[in-house]
Structure 1
Amino acid sequence: MKTTFVSAIVLLAGQAAAHMAITYPPPLRSKDNPFAANDIDYSITSPLSASGSDFPCKGTLNLLGTAEASPVATWQAGQQYNMTISGGANHNGGSCQASLSFDSGKTFTVIHSYIGNCPVAGTSSLKFTLPADTPSAKDALFAWTWFNNVGNREFYMNCAVITITGGGGSASTPFSSRPQIFKANIANGCSTVEGSDVLFPNPGPPEDVTNAGTKTAAPVGTCDVAVGGGSSGGGGSSSPSSSANVVAPNPSTPAASQVSQPSIQSTTRAAGGASSSAQLPGGVFITVPPSSNSAVASPAQPTTLATVSIPASSSEECTEGSSAPTAVPAPTSAVIPPAAPSAAPSAAPSAAPSAAPSAIPSPGAGTGDAADGSMTPGKACTPEGQWNCVSGTYFQRCASGQWSVLMSMAPGTKCQSGTTEVLVWQKKRAHGRRSLRARHHI
């Protein structure tokens, strides 16, 4: 039976795009993880909750011990490996860490710190070496953590289950003396500075630190200095880490990006007409029209797509027995890659990550910017919130007064070409029929 309904996907400002996540080794609940089955986290690129409720690993550790948490890679102590990071919005990079846990996520020991330019836009690969004395384990946790440079103060974390062999060697810095991961922006009294790459209080030994930041800043607040003493395999316990009050430098003239912004409430309306409000999590941005008394213009920010359901309008046809609309995953996005960095990325990992997204048509000159109907990213536009569908397979939006980059529609979906106030798109159902959906802005 065919059911037609309208689903509203609320785009909350700036240039709409996914954030970042590791694709190799594939994390728990990732679409790239062959053991994830149907339990896919479609918001895996989003940051941890600002409350810290899903720390660590975005709340996926309940899968440990199940088939869905089977090891996705086997690494040997003392050897070099790499992780692959992919996504659409890198928030001007930031600082990242690679770490390991041998006690089911109670502690995470840092094996490499990347200060600045982490991650880059698009898909990249970061090298690291497993310390020679890394403990052997069948089900160790590998974690990638990231603190973004621009945007809301956030903490990103993905975790993958791996097997480690050949442990027990000697290292210049004993594994037990390595620092624990840095934690901030999760209601723990510590936060990072907007517009700077966080300088980790204890990044680890020099040979395991990559410095690429051009503007770094120490964290602020009461921050854990991440001393050693984490798990050492076989269920080891952690020693308490010490904390220190860190004060941020006080610039004479604050940058526009450092202006504090009020929290934003999101309201959804149910079919019965009642509305409910909920505090938006970190990673959500909303376009706010400039007011006459605005002192500083807020720059455009990357955004998160949130999905809500609304009842069908009076003009929509619903067949007998249809159920209430259900939320659908937001389309995946891809960003036009920037100019190649001076240093070429490392080779792909031995276990190949998921295939890169298909090429996106490049905007050019002529009527409508390009023959395919795409608009030049960054070009001024009106009205705010207008959508542009290109060839049925890509879309962009007028956000903060300028056109966003082109982004891919989700697999199996097509949008209605042209510029409209509401992005109308269809998703092919399993039995071959298509259901009509639309994107609204508020």
Structure 2
Amino acid sequence: MGMSNPLGQAGPWSKNPDKLVHSWIGFQGKPFPCGGYTDGPVTNLTIGEVINVRFWTFGLKNITATPPLPKTIPTARHGGGSCEFSLSYDGMKTWKVIGQYTKSCPDIYTEWPVLIPDNIPECTDPKTCFFSMSWIAHKVPQFYHHCANVVVRGGSNYTALPSFALPTLDMTVVDLPPNKTLVSAVGDNELQSPGPDENEIKMNKNGDFKHGGKLMDKGLNLNLVYRQG
């Protein structure tokens, strides 16, 4: 499962597509972060806007299609799980969470709204500025991480303040030594997602994850399950 909005690295829309782009971290040595990819199409994000994140698989032939989609496309979503959406302003060294969805994420048949916080600094170099989706699957202990090169700017009414900062919550990384392994997330156990939870949509659109927001430090309960080896 990959990310098509914003346009992720190494997808079929990229100058350097890779057939392993939708694979989990560690598959055939695929490295973290971002699967080892560094360059891709650049997406312009506006501070304070809500971006509707979309997912993609190779079964989706029309790469520009938006939901609703025909319910006949195989998704390999492994019964869902938990997704995080994060920003990196330092060339992939650190990742700060700006949105989360649990149990029913991901799926190509719906969109996943995420607020670009209204109190973050600008980031204008797409070689150091990245947006990512990470997914902890339900049926299998696999961790996915797909990234997009971005430029993050304020809109016409934006004025940067000294207090502006990225959130403090770090992206959760599992199933990748030295982090905990054999980890999965509680999912919906369905072939197709029922879609994002309405309460979680509100949290993701209302700024609960931004610096100073009520979920800035702890985030949602990702419902992680630690399996016995």
TM-score, normalised via structure 2 length: 0.68
Q: Give 5+ residue unaligned stretches, structure 2.
A: 58-74, 188-207
Give, in whole Å, the separation in 1 of the partners of 2:159 and 2:175. 35
Deviations 1:198-231 (A, max 9, x none): xxxxx944568997x9xx63454xxxxxxxxxxx
3-state SS of 2:35 partner:
helix
Question: Residue 134 of structure 2: which of 145, 150, 153 is its match?
Answer: 145
The count of residues paired between Structure 1 and Structure 2 equals 182
Q: Structure 2 residue aligned with 1:102, among 82, 86, 89?
A: 89
Match of 2:145 in 1: 157
Any residues of structure 2 matched to 1:66-145 within 5 Å, and which?
69-71=40-42, 73-87=43-57, 88-120=75-107, 122-138=108-124, 139=126, 140-145=129-134
- 1:179–1:137: structure 2 CA closer, same or farther, 3 Å change rule? same
Contact 1:75 1:163 in 2 (8 A): yes
Q: Aligned Cα RMSD in Å?
A: 3.1
Q: In 2, distance between residues paired with 1:144 and 1:177?
A: 16
* SS at structure 1 position matched to 2:111: strand
CA distance in 1, matches of 2:33, 2:182: 18
1:195 and 1:112 mapped to 2: Cα distance?
A: 16
Which whole-Å CA distance do the structure 2 matches of 1:169 and 1:116 have between them? 36
How far, CA to CA, are the matches of 1:44 and 1:123 in structure 2? 19
Richer in strand (by share): 1
Q: What is the aligned partner in structure 1 of residue 3 from structure 2?
A: 22
| 1:43 equivalenced with 2:33 (yes/no) | no
Kept after mapping to 2: 8 A contact 1:95/1:115: yes
Distance 2:19 2:28 in 1: 20
Larger radius of gyration: 1
Deviations 1:93-146 (A, max 9, x none): 0000111111111111110011211013x4321101111122212222110100
CA contact (8 A) 1:52 1:186 kept: no
One-letter amino acid matched to 1:217: N
For residues 241-281 of structure 1, the C-alpha deviation after alignment (integer angstroms, 9 at most, x for no partner) is: xxxxxxxxxxxxxxxxx686xxxxxxxxxxxxxxxxxxxxx
Residue 184 of structure 1: aligned partner: 174
Map Cα deviations across residues 17-54 of structure 1 (whole Å, 9 max, x no partner).
Answer: xxx11111111111123xx2xx2111111101169861
CA distance in 1, matches of 2:98, 2:219: 11
**Identity rate, percent:** 21
In the alignment, the residues of structure 2 paired with residue 112 and residue 95 of structure 1 have an alpha-carbon distance, to the nearest angstrom, of: 11
